[in-house]
Amino acid sequence: MTIAEIMTNRTVEGFSIGEHGVCSMNLSGGISLTQESLLRYVGSGVFISAEDHLQQFGLPAPYDAEQDIRGRIVGKVIRRVEIARDTGDLTLTLDDGRVELICTSAGYEAYQVDGPDHLLVVGRGGNGEISEPDAPAKNRRVGQ
């Protein structure tokens, strides 16, 4: 089973930005996606970076990127999933925008997909190779 098969047609049920900018996305079917590099939302003339969360930028109050991204993706369905073979970047295309997870290190585990039956897929940039699980297996860890 590929990452595209795991995530396509899933509904985004939750989104949060935690400590140190770690973002988490909950999807229907018990699938979760966690990123530890750069996440951004792009759509309809809007570009929102998770790195801007709680930055003030001369505004009257800090910018709430979590709320802004959440409002644009929760309840939406992932229509297409793409992985850049040369970088490992992950793009989730929704009906009216996309979420991009950008690998900022060639060796660091940039994102993880967790699911039922101990499914764990780890995305890593820079090697140009994609490895995905054949089937969910207990304690399986797959680099891509």
Residue 73's nearest CA partner among 95, 88, 58, 52 is 95
pLDDT given at position 50: 87
Where are the chain's structural domains?
Answer: 3-143
Q: 113 has which bridge partners?
A: 33, 121
pLDDT given at position 137: 44
pTM: 0.81
pLDDT given at position 136: 45
In order along its 144 residues, the chain shows pLDDT tens digits of: 788 889 999 999 999 998 878 899 999 999 999 988 889 999 989 998 888 887 788 888 888 889 999 999 999 999 999 988 888 889 999 989 999 998 877 766 778 888 887 666 666 556 544 445 554 444 443 443
* Residue 17 neighbours by CB under 8 Å, 6+ apart: 23, 50, 53, 65, 66, 69
